[in-house]
């Protein structure tokens, strides 16, 4: 999959492609079929893993058939039944029995979102490691702090990196919580009527649902046909990621301006060029990360709008608007996560320019410090003033519980 108008989309690879969605829905059908056999609802000869029945070459046909029923599971199921019937008619007769389209589509989406979360989580971990290192290495690298675009007070680049790290760690924690997405099995109207009738009792139906979720590696919860918090929460977590990365990109974009030149992206052959000005090397990664941060909130808002439009026992459009929106948001977030990880890994910090800019800002930039301590020597920020912040964030990034206030020799 590629997107000509979203440069870098290829970084997302197979995450949430049409083929991945078909494969995920097929996995859901296979897991349910296995549960039916394991619990004796279906006969043993109905066992089948559905492997090899549908592949990337079938995506166009499934997509073309989706319009007639309003969702992609219907033509996919028809294809699965036809091909499975040729090799295992018994399994074909049990396929999808007790499920509804929404069960399979929702759980398939969950599987695709979980794959996206895995990719993003890896990049967040890499970003946190780089930022923890930068914060530690530059805890004493003095630079001009800026607020509302103007010189404010002296800070250190270590503190700036620690601020970036705060956003990345918040995103990491938010995503880890939101990515614990549950399976969805509720039957035609979320009442479990068909699974109970099929299994013989509510308890037996519950066993089928739990086994299906276990096969898929997902937690179980009661049907959430029209209660879409799992998906809105995940969308919000993705926006928390792009928010954090956008903040980093903005600082790099400002810091790489020729008149400031404190930061710059690592040099990569062929990147950052201009079609008309050969003298330019644009901070392309930062530009593309900022682009994702600007677009993401509106996609999440669409997911919320779909949830707010829920009506009856299956929404008439509110459910349908989620699918492509979540796919777009997930792929763009995966792409931006990869770009941010590369940006930080290659980031160049010009400490000489930071010192020169700080000197240029004096004496005005020292006004607050002098107003509080008239005898303060002009120079760097107060030694150790931000060490506590930096050390706590480095500890958080590494999973080490921070010391409580009052502990240690630095209290």
Of all helices (H) and strands (E), which one includes residue 154? strand 150-156
Q: How much is the mean pLDDT over the chain?
A: 93
Least confident interval from 230-239, 271-280, 305-314, 365-374 = 271-280
**pLDDT tens digits for 33-57?**
999 999 999 999 999 999 999 999 9
Residue 264 has phi, psi (to 5 degrees) of -155, 155
Active site residue 68: no
Residue tagged active-site, from 177, 191, 274, 398: 274
Q: Is the dihedral of CA 298, 304, 310, 313 positive or negative?
A: positive
Q: What secondary structure letter does DSSP report for 12?
A: G
Active site residue 228: no
Global pTM reads 0.94
**pLDDT tens digits for 128-182?**
999 999 999 999 999 999 999 999 999 999 999 999 999 999 999 999 999 999 9
Q: Which two tokens stand for residue 64?
A: 């073309």
Q: Which of 269, 270, 265 minimizes the C-alpha distance to 285? A: 265
Q: Is the dihedral of CA 310, 330, 256, 138 positive or negative?
A: positive
Q: Which two tokens stand for residue 108?
A: 């398939």
pLDDT band at 410 (very low <50, low <70, confident <90, very high): very low
Question: Is pLDDT of 407 > 80?
Answer: no
Q: Which of 208, 241, 221 minimizes the C-alpha distance to 334? A: 241
Residue tagged active-site, from 27, 81, 247, 314: 314
């Amino acid at each position: 999959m590629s997107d000509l108008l979203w440069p870098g989309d290829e970084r997302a690879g197979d995450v949430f492609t049409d083929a991945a969605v078909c494969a995920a829905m097929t996995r859901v059908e296979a897991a349910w079929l296995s549960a039916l056999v394991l619990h004796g609802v279906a006969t043993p000869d109905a066992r089948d893993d559905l492997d090899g029945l549908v592949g990337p070459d079938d995506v166009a046909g499934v997509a073309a058939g989706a319009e007639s029923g309003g969702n992609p599971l219907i033509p996919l199921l028809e294809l699965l039944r036809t091909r499975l019937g040729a090799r295992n008619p018994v399994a074909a007769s049990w396929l999808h029995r007790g499920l509804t389209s929404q069960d399979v589509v929702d759980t398939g989406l969950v599987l695709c979102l979980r794959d996206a979360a895995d990719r993003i989580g890896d990049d967040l971990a890499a970003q946190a490691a780089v930022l923890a290192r930068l914060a530690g290495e530059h805890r004493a690298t003095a630079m001009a702090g800026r607020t509302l675009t103007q010189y404010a007070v002296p800070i250190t680049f270590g503190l700036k990196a620690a601020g970036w790290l705060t956003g990345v760690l918040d995103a990491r924690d938010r995503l880890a919580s939101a990515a614990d997405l549950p399976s969805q099995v509720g039957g035609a109207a979320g009442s479990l009527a068909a699974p109970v009738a099929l299994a013989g009792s509510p308890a037996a139906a519950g066993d089928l649902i739990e086994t299906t979720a276990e096969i898929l590696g997902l937690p179980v919860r009661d049907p959430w046909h029209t209660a879409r918090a799992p998906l809105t929460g995940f969308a919000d977590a993705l926006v928390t990621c792009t928010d954090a990365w956008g903040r980093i990109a903005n600082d790099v974009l400002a810091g790489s301006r020729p008149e400031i030149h404190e930061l710059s992206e690592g040099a990569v052959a062929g990147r950052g060029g201009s079609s008309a000005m050969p003298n330019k090397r644009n901070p392309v990664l930062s530009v593309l990360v900022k682009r994702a941060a600007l677009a993401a909130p509106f996609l999440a808002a669409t997911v919320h709008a779909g949830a707010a439009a829920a009506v009856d026992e299956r929404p008439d459009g509110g459910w349908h608007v989620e699918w492509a929106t979540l796919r777009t948001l997930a792929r763009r977030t995966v792409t931006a996560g990869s770009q941010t990880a590369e940006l930080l890994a290659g980031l160049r910090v010009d400490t000489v320019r930071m010192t020169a800019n700080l000197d240029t800002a004096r004496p005005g930039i020292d006004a607050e410090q002098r107003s509080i301590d008239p005898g303060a020597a002009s120079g760097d920020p107060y030694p150790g003033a931000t060490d506590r912040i930096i050390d706590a964030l480095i500890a958080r990034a590494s999973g080490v519980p921070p010391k409580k206030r009052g502990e240690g020799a630095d209290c």
